[in-house]
Amino acid sequence: MHLDFTTAERQFRDEVGDFIATHYPAEVRERQQRGLDLRKQDYLAWHQVVARRGWSVPAWPVEYGGTGWTPTQRHIWNEELALADTVPIISFGTGLVGPVIYTFGTPAQKARFLPDIVAGNVWWCQGYSEPGAGSDLAALQTRAVRDGDHYVVYGQKTWTTLGHFADWGFFLVRTDPTARKQAGISFLLIDMRSPGVTVRPIITLDGTHEVNEVWLDDVRVPVENRIHEENQGWTCAKALLAHERSGIAMVSRSKVALSRLRRLAGSIVERGRPLVEDPAFLRKLTDVEIDLLALEYTELRMLAAETGGMAPGVEVSMLKVRGTEVQQRLNELELEALGAHAALRARATSASDAGPVAMPAAVDVADGYFNMRKTSIFGGSNEIQRNILAKAVLGL
């Protein structure tokens, strides 16, 4: 998409690009280039650099640390981050629990938790899904029983992304088992170092430790760590999921992935011509490019609406569905372009394993394919999102 940027916006783009080029941590860049797994300190190092500039929570209200940027400036920021291939600023704090705290939290809770989220001092994780409550999140069974000034929490969460890095977690728990499913849930903030919290790894198809199961065995949580009213946690959950689903679209990252795919297809020669000139492959490439362009327009309309004071609505479900489908199709086309070479995959676990140069593209593409299968499921499966759209838009 080509926007008619003003002079001030072009200057802002230059400022952002210069900032990233000058301040992106060299050690993090080296680990990326050598194909090494990123550590907790790698993610937080970049977050803290951005925080010192005052840019770590651009979508937040200014009074809580936000930048006051326009939707176009936020769009430019995300594009420049994608173009520079920076590690993401992990959104569990900045994009998920932070907005819940400043929307529903008490003044004391805001003062206690928000500054550390902005500064990148604390890593958060999300305790929503359970073995029997994935897409049907309201069926969760983790219990929290009131005991004076504390809740005693017991149960199990699963698919807790990067929970092994987390200092704190935000959890949905059932505080009234007799109420209808959505009505008996509360939203608790839990210190992951609390006695009774156990984090166990789940190794995924790409061979990585990204997700976990979390066991809560009689964990005592102060009542002051409950956000909003008891049994009103579903209100917080819906607000949080709206932010999560809009972020999952990852339009800027997909635009970079599309450019990478074009270069890859241009470098592969089949039957005497570059793959990018093959009519069948080019048709698939063009189809996904059109869908990505439409997705970008939709995202920009939503950002403009938010600037006008409108909260994210059902359109975030559309962003989530189309965004994850585009991501997966781009990855599938990369695999198709590489063909049998995509089977040549291995992971580097140390600097000595990785060697002095970047790992082959086939490794990243194959690992990415396995990892990206999850995107149409997390944040509420795409089937659930279509049900939401059907009910809210079509009245079905």
What does the pLDDT look like over 319-363, one tens digit per residue? 889 999 999 999 999 999 988 777 655 444 444 444 333 334 555
| Alpha-carbon separation of residue 281 from 241, 265, 276 (angstroms) | 36, 9, 7
Nearest to 32 by CA among 357, 334, 373, 258: 357
The domains located in the chain, with CATH, are 7-89 (no CATH), 122-231 (2.40.110.10), 249-393 (1.20.140.10)
Q: Are strands 209-222 and 226-227 parallel, antiparallel or unpaired?
A: unpaired
Which residues are known catalytic residues?
244
Rounded to the nearest 5 degrees, what angle is found at the Cα of 127, between the Cα atoms of 366 and 32?
35
pTM, entire model: 0.88
Among 47-61, 153-167, 229-243, 377-391, the least confident range: 377-391
Contact 326, 295 (CB under 8 A): yes
What does the pLDDT look like over 15-70, one tens digit per residue? 999 999 999 999 999 999 888 889 999 999 999 999 999 999 999 999 999 999 98
Sign of CA dihedral 199, 191, 241, 235: positive
Mean pLDDT of the chain, nearest integer? 89
The whole-number pLDDT of residue 362 equals: 58
Q: Which residue has the tokens 């937040």?
A: 60
| Burial of residue 240 (number of CB atoms within 10 Å: 0-12, 13-18, 19+) | buried
Nearest to 105 by CA among 59, 170, 150, 149: 170
What does the pLDDT look like over 255-288, one tens digit per residue? 999 999 999 999 998 888 999 999 999 999 999 9
The whole-number pLDDT of residue 323 equals: 92
Tell whether the model's pLDDT for residue 373 goes beyond 50. yes
> CA 202, CA 194: separation in Å to the nearest integer?
21
| Burial of residue 244 (number of CB atoms within 10 Å: 0-12, 13-18, 19+) | buried
List all residues 6 or more positions away from 219 whose beta carbon is below 8 Å from its beta carbon: 152, 153, 154, 190, 194, 195, 196, 197
Name the helix (H) or strand (E) containing 351: helix 351-354
Which three-class secondary structure state does DSSP give residue 161? coil
